[in-house]
Structure 1
């Protein structure tokens, strides 16, 4: 094996200089841990989290004998949190281990000692020859050698790899077709040179040397591990990649971990609280230390000193005080926060998946949440970057028109053409349902003497493609045309209807039935389409003239610049292309050239040599292809309609009203893109539309900057490199003004670059949505990636965070789930800090009465279970179920998304500090209401209140107060809210009673009998609840009484106000009333 390529010899052991295997085994391991490594590795990962590490330090500090509370008080919740995560991780990893064992033990068949012998998958090595049976899963990446089909074809199901359900055809090279018997395989001297292992499922560069003769290999000759052999009795392959070197395993690595904007800001909030703890502890320690020094010789406070060492060593005494106060108030940081958020997000993801309103019955697909980390980011989207074909359109192609030799054929009007005509005030008939290509004149041409150029047109479309014919007797021609893109299938289907039926593809031939007569056309070379080439070509020997001819089809800008010379035909065709584009039709240009036999043979030798390269193949093939794909003769153009998806205009209009900037990024012509933009409500007649082209980029930017009014940009792909480099700052400022931007003639790489630059420069949340492999780059670059289950495979879905069936469901995903998830999760985070502040700050108040001695007020057991039993469930119920208005109203008033979702103050430090202040105030309420009722209490039998009884009462007040607070957040009450809010309050005295009976804590011994019977205990609780409820109710009344736009929307939706027309008019002018926004 070299540093640049892999060399594999058939039926040979590949060993290094030390006699060890040169390549990895076919055994796989996806589990992370072993029995020995689980505990240390899992603990390392868990304590990498800031909050977990903090509580670990607290637990360690509690090991000192002078610690004010038991170590169990902090250890128990930490063990619970760490334990839950560890158990979940252990179960998941055990399932992965068991899956690995099952996969590695799967039976397979390989050639051993002259016979095909059964073996396990993990016994297969690089260089082995494997025998594959029908419906059997392929155990390793292997070069396809032969099959039971004489043509050397085999069908594979790649659903496990890319999610695509249509079968893929694999083609063996002609030189290995006959190698089906063990002895023939042993006698053949075979060596493969190929790429080093990589993760590209669709690219394989290599060559195979058979008995000294070298032949090129590509991805069509490679079986991939995990795919399944279908419709083929058997196939034989030579293993080149095994185990973790196989392409499916190379693709199994984790994608970029996305963290939500809320979570990214969470660490800073945790650090802020930690600094607060240090400051409070320092102040309390100084006060306590001063008191100690003043009273050091006073015998009346002898119990104040922990030991004699403290008296002789003041710094040590101060250190003990400082650490003690940190321990006492450490619970200001909520240990349950991360667990709560994880649970909440699981529920939110589950509700997204279960939403029946986003289930598409046509394709039988609902919305699926492929991640739980970024559910709240859906409520903060400011930019949507959308593909066009298959995303905004149906990706159901209908051949509508064509231009051949300067004449247009085909009648009818498209949806986009109809919309354009109506904008111009023209009176035209709407498009007919299910209309396709029809032209009486063209039909007559096919029946009589067909012009030579028309024959070229038909033969080109029936041969220059990558369609796979599948036999199906139920179809008109007994064939289903399986194609990598709907465009290809539509064109092949169209010429089949015209009498040129594509029948079969072999290694070196194509069969086409021409007007009922089947002809076998010699295939000399096939130059396939790529996004970089933007064209495909086929070199054939003409079935009638036997001349060598190259046919080429592709994007108009690519084909037209490869023509021999400009002619009247080219001028006419350009005009036709503009006419087609104005109707929203997708266009391709067609060209041909007859070639000299000697030139062809010389060129084929160079082409084969380039294809045999492993390193630098693409560049070499591209260079050789340029030699033949030039000086072409124009035939004409095709025009295909791709209708808009249902609900797209409404979805885009709603997103624009929600304050989201909408971008359409497409590879289509500028005219096509603009007309599609109008049809889908991305553009409107009252917008100032500025086009930016490469040649006039500076002047175009000046024009856009000087424009007054609602601005929209239409950008040509050739201008994007300069816009993202030289003019990037001006470009970013321009796009901030634009509600709509269209980018046309854009490559997949440019899509990703646009999203990346916009996300980094604007610091705004970006969502990218697409349906094809060319959208994967921008989906991965965006903060939120959405894949559409379309006709171009499932690569986009597999790379996405959320998957939907149609673009229109994006509206509900953002306006309903996104908005709700955002405000729920913000409240979840703020409430978690608030309740812990309300609980813990009582310790600081108590410190004032205990001379800052660093002692705790609460019992250790109760201190431990505060977050677990009394406050955890209500916030989860709130974050999973609550909503302020009906789901229908959220869809009807998208402005709410703008008013709520994009308000940065919702996550700001001032609001965070305000919630902490609430906690401090409510701590004072709990402490001093208890003091008011119980401070001078003397029971009927003469006993005064003890510290334990006082602390238990304060604790009960805190539990009641924080649950009243969460109750005030609920807008949607149901039985669960009543049960868990009031249940959390009422369960406290029952739990105290239980702890007393169990004799777990000395502080609680006998307390339930003595104290819980006293009326002042219950008066304190009720008094605290009333005291806290009054300002909460007043705040709600004041906020709801404000004449804000948000309140008017909410009240209108709740009351189902009939004056919606007046409201809609008011909403259209949101910018004029920003001063009323919350």
Structure 2
């Protein structure tokens, strides 16, 4: 068909489109300032902004600001307590770790930016430019395997038909090659006129937008105009896969599709971190209250407020400055363990801030195709209206196809014709492109490229029954009848690709050997094809039968077109296609619907099998036993979803399924909800997309209250937005942690909406994987991810947080008791290096080694998945467990400081005995903390043993080096060692006995399964 339309239409469009940009090779240099620079910059900082930005990011949090104010207060003499280093060094240590990490990450980003910006590209005039210097209107030449530096419109391809292929995996995660087409007008002109053809090219296109699947534009040259679509474009950061391209830059830098879709991801905070923050607030309030109480006992003086501030500074160790950095380092360690677990290979952690939430999932919302199933398609059945052919009767189909161009058609002529019609239509109605690839031994093999695995499965099946796809490009298709060797050549006039909105794809083809034969062919979901075909009295029943077998169905239709009808359609369609209004797509769809999509002949139905993922049955059963409620959301039909739910054991044996379809009244909706409520957890809800939408729009709260109590829910015919809406509904109404898992681009919105996004690297590409917090290769891997890594991450961080808080509490209680005994004066007991070394050199390594601990081995988490369910209530880090640590700290702090002062006698607070007191109490603190860490260890390993011994050795070795803090003359005294031993045993043994008795009387569940 003719691709160009009169210039008048272009001018009319231009006048109506003031918000569109016009680009040409002679775009004045003065216009370039309007457009974004093409320089890529992902760096967060520069030399000037690095320090201010880092400091702002750190001190915008209240607790970091609190520690900074405490440190700065020491510059004010009335508030000074001890050495300035006691407060500056711990804060500087934490900040240095953060700054070092940020600086390293930013240097890597800057290095990648420089590589991209410095890459040179050839222009059509023979000059070269760096990527960062490219401007709108430049015409660049791109070769195979070269990165596309900006959004361009393809003017010419080295292939005579104007075709080329690109790889888009860095843009949308899709791994299949995408076919692209040069603008038909410039392709033909360039071949005849050379580079001079580009001088008069004018491209009108819309303002920059995010959609990578849509583009509206027109190209005009010397009064001729053709429409431009997304098929004529190459977006930035895609890669040329085949051919050489010449294209005009239309969007640069921040205006490119890549940049516009690179949104800052939602910052996710783990539930444990929120709980730790709440505890920290409680500790902060406790510090303030304790300071007020001590000032009250001291008596209010003229400057009593300064005394309050001094006490606040003195007890600042109650809120440990190292808590956040310890938890952040732990998260990095968990991420390392996950990525290096050989039992779940190629697992990637993309969000390292939330590994603890993996241990507290209550709801898992999962896609079906490619997630529960393999997305490994195989055409298993076809139905032609009067007869069905299954896997065991495909030889009969092959015979009918073989006889088509042989002498005679066999005895069952009617069935043979119907079968041929369906097979012939399937051979023509697809978007599969055959490509030649060379093997290692030099042989050429044919592979198929397509957006959908369904289409590749159908083309492979066609080859088995005798119709082989030889060639397909934008203009024509050649099919070989294998038995006779006959080549069937068809001109492709129009293609209407599949989309999640239309749920169908169609094409208009013309027989090149018989130009009177013009066909409109369409295949798609039964819900959209059924209304546009003529007789379909058998369709619903056969589609339901195939769905019950777990097959994905496609309905196929055909319509013969006359030359007159085609010409009328072509004129109307061309008029709609050059419209620069925002409803161009709708106008084009309306023309297709009016002229083509009506009164079609129903040819048949195909059934494609999608195999279940490996180990999907035990995995779902394991998660269900862990009390994770699983919802399956799919775009497939109700019957197909029902079959997969049963075969995968998403629905357990004996569990009933309540089906809701075509819901349209609130009365019926409440009837269904009342029934489900009365059935309790023993029923699974199965509903279609229309019913789901009705529930969400009319009775969302009532629906959520009932659905959240069910053991499982299956939603069919779901759109991507509905999937995301369901995730948000579950999160809002349950208040629990929600995970979502999928493998395709239509799952991205659901994955991003969830607390934990899980992506599977699937056959539809890596888009879901790239958008997820955690990426896996198989569904069964998430059982190890949740039950082992998630459980350990949560329990370890909970214990780590409480031990770090205990470490700060116990030294603060010693300080408080010393202040009380010093007539409520805010005097520092431990100063300088002692304060710095206590939380770093002497205790940091053993405390952090707790992140390597585990209570039970990995295989027991699978044997007893019920252990996972216990974590959801947060008992490992609750106010109850926190208060237990508070009382332990209170007991130990009072005992250590009280007995130290008691054993040293009434002169212990005098200057002559002060260093001896400090040496005794500080030694007791260090040894108590090391022993408390040892008490908390469930499973010893070399790291724990080494850190304990090294820390003890470091303390013992440093004591002789601290004459400014300790009375070293007492080190040879037998009394010193006796006092320290008695105090430490008194501090450690009673909590150990209490803990042992409690475990005997109320043993935790994990203790019951330990072997």
> Is the 2:175–2:766 Cα contact (8 Å) retained in structure 1?
no
Offset at residue 58 of structure 1 (A) = 0.6
2-structure distance, mates of 1:408, 1:173: 44
Pairing 1:65–2:64 present: no
2:168 to 158, 161, 180: 158
Judged with a 3 Å threshold, the aligned counterparts in structure 2 of structure 1 residues 336 and 185 are, in CA distance, closer, same or farther, namely farther
Pairing 1:196–2:207 present: yes
The C-alpha deviation readout for 1:581-624, integer Å capped at 9, x for no partner, is 11111111111112232232222222233333342223223322
1-structure distance, mates of 2:194, 2:397: 61
2-structure distance, mates of 1:786, 1:253: 19
Pairing 1:920–2:890 present: yes
> Is the 1:6–1:195 Cα contact (8 Å) retained in structure 2?
yes
Judged with a 3 Å threshold, the aligned counterparts in structure 2 of structure 1 residues 110 and 184 are, in CA distance, closer, same or farther, namely closer
1-structure distance, mates of 2:902, 2:142: 84
2-structure distance, mates of 1:803, 1:14: 47
Map of 1:462 onto structure 2: 427
Judged with a 3 Å threshold, the aligned counterparts in structure 2 of structure 1 residues 854 and 135 are, in CA distance, closer, same or farther, namely same
Map of 2:958 onto structure 1: 991
2:246 to 227, 236, 257: 236
The C-alpha deviation readout for 1:254-294, integer Å capped at 9, x for no partner, is 2111111111233322222111111111111222235xx6x
The C-alpha deviation readout for 1:5-26, integer Å capped at 9, x for no partner, is 542322123567xx66110121
In the TM superposition, what are the counterparts of 1:242-391 in structure 2 within 5 Å?
242-290=252-300, 314=302, 317-359=303-345, 366-391=346-371
The number of aligned residues is: 975
Judged with a 3 Å threshold, the aligned counterparts in structure 2 of structure 1 residues 462 and 982 are, in CA distance, closer, same or farther, namely same
Secondary structure of the corresponding residue to residue 623 of structure 2 = helix
> Is the 2:704–2:730 Cα contact (8 Å) retained in structure 1?
yes
> Is the 1:752–1:778 Cα contact (8 Å) retained in structure 2?
yes
1:131 to 141, 155, 158: 141
1:108 to 98, 116, 121: 121
Secondary structure of the corresponding residue to residue 239 of structure 1 = strand
Secondary structure of the corresponding residue to residue 491 of structure 2 = strand
1:94 to 107, 119, 122: 107
1-structure distance, mates of 2:19, 2:498: 25
Judged with a 3 Å threshold, the aligned counterparts in structure 2 of structure 1 residues 155 and 945 are, in CA distance, closer, same or farther, namely same
Offset at residue 512 of structure 1 (A) = 2.3
Secondary structure of the corresponding residue to residue 553 of structure 1 = strand
Offset at residue 62 of structure 1 (A) = 1.3
> Is the 2:394–2:465 Cα contact (8 Å) retained in structure 1?
no
2-structure distance, mates of 1:795, 1:883: 34
TM-score, normalised by the number of residues in structure 1? 0.87
2-structure distance, mates of 1:853, 1:954: 19
> Is the 2:155–2:246 Cα contact (8 Å) retained in structure 1?
yes
2-structure distance, mates of 1:384, 1:514: 48
Pairing 1:497–2:497 present: no
2:970 to 999, 1004, 1011: 1011
1-structure distance, mates of 2:697, 2:865: 35
> Is the 2:368–2:632 Cα contact (8 Å) retained in structure 1?
yes
Map of 2:234 onto structure 1: 223
Pairing 1:676–2:632 present: no
Q: RMSD of the TM alignment (CA)? A: 2.4
Offset at residue 537 of structure 1 (A) = 0.8
Map of 2:380 onto structure 1: 400
Map of 1:886 onto structure 2: 857
Pairing 1:7–2:21 present: yes
2-structure distance, mates of 1:9, 1:947: 82
Map of 2:997 onto structure 1: 1038
Offset at residue 510 of structure 1 (A) = 2.2
Pairing 1:612–2:578 present: yes
The C-alpha deviation readout for 1:996-1020, integer Å capped at 9, x for no partner, is 3xxxxx444xx33x13222333223
Secondary structure of the corresponding residue to residue 121 of structure 2 = strand
> Is the 2:558–2:600 Cα contact (8 Å) retained in structure 1?
yes
Judged with a 3 Å threshold, the aligned counterparts in structure 2 of structure 1 residues 726 and 165 are, in CA distance, closer, same or farther, namely closer
Offset at residue 491 of structure 1 (A) = 0.9
Moved more, 243-252 or 528-537: 243-252
> Is the 1:496–1:502 Cα contact (8 Å) retained in structure 2?
yes
Pairing 1:561–2:531 present: yes
Secondary structure of the corresponding residue to residue 547 of structure 2 = helix
2-structure distance, mates of 1:183, 1:73: 76
Judged with a 3 Å threshold, the aligned counterparts in structure 2 of structure 1 residues 909 and 702 are, in CA distance, closer, same or farther, namely same
2-structure distance, mates of 1:20, 1:401: 58
> Is the 1:393–1:643 Cα contact (8 Å) retained in structure 2?
yes
Map of 1:541 onto structure 2: 510
Map of 2:4 onto structure 1: none
1-structure distance, mates of 2:318, 2:680: 53
Secondary structure of the corresponding residue to residue 523 of structure 1 = strand
The C-alpha deviation readout for 1:193-216, integer Å capped at 9, x for no partner, is 223223333333322223332222
Judged with a 3 Å threshold, the aligned counterparts in structure 2 of structure 1 residues 837 and 4 are, in CA distance, closer, same or farther, namely farther
1-structure distance, mates of 2:394, 2:976: 88
Which structure 1 segments of 5+ residues have no match? 294-313, 360-365, 413-436, 997-1001, 1056-1078
1:522 to 491, 494, 515: 491
Pairing 1:930–2:900 present: yes
Secondary structure of the corresponding residue to residue 708 of structure 2 = helix
2-structure distance, mates of 1:203, 1:1031: 71
Secondary structure of the corresponding residue to residue 742 of structure 1 = strand
2-structure distance, mates of 1:1043, 1:35: 58
Pairing 1:453–2:418 present: yes
Judged with a 3 Å threshold, the aligned counterparts in structure 2 of structure 1 residues 185 and 845 are, in CA distance, closer, same or farther, namely farther
Judged with a 3 Å threshold, the aligned counterparts in structure 2 of structure 1 residues 1015 and 473 are, in CA distance, closer, same or farther, namely closer
Offset at residue 394 of structure 1 (A) = 1.1
Pairing 1:74–2:87 present: yes
Secondary structure of the corresponding residue to residue 466 of structure 1 = coil
Pairing 1:552–2:517 present: no
Secondary structure of the corresponding residue to residue 202 of structure 1 = coil
1-structure distance, mates of 2:612, 2:847: 43
Judged with a 3 Å threshold, the aligned counterparts in structure 2 of structure 1 residues 14 and 1016 are, in CA distance, closer, same or farther, namely farther
1:897 to 851, 863, 868: 868
Which structure 2 segments of 5+ residues have no match? 1-13
Offset at residue 1031 of structure 1 (A) = 2.5
Offset at residue 828 of structure 1 (A) = 1.3
Secondary structure of the corresponding residue to residue 983 of structure 1 = helix
Secondary structure of the corresponding residue to residue 492 of structure 2 = strand
> Is the 1:688–1:709 Cα contact (8 Å) retained in structure 2?
no
1-structure distance, mates of 2:111, 2:652: 58
2-structure distance, mates of 1:1038, 1:597: 92
Pairing 1:968–2:940 present: no
Map of 2:551 onto structure 1: 585
TM-score, normalised by the number of residues in structure 2? 0.92
Offset at residue 663 of structure 1 (A) = 0.9
1:438 to 369, 394, 399: 394
Map of 1:747 onto structure 2: 719
1:119 to 124, 129, 133: 129
2-structure distance, mates of 1:187, 1:748: 41
2-structure distance, mates of 1:180, 1:1040: 84
1-structure distance, mates of 2:17, 2:48: 36
Secondary structure of the corresponding residue to residue 177 of structure 1 = helix
Judged with a 3 Å threshold, the aligned counterparts in structure 2 of structure 1 residues 321 and 473 are, in CA distance, closer, same or farther, namely closer
Secondary structure of the corresponding residue to residue 976 of structure 2 = helix
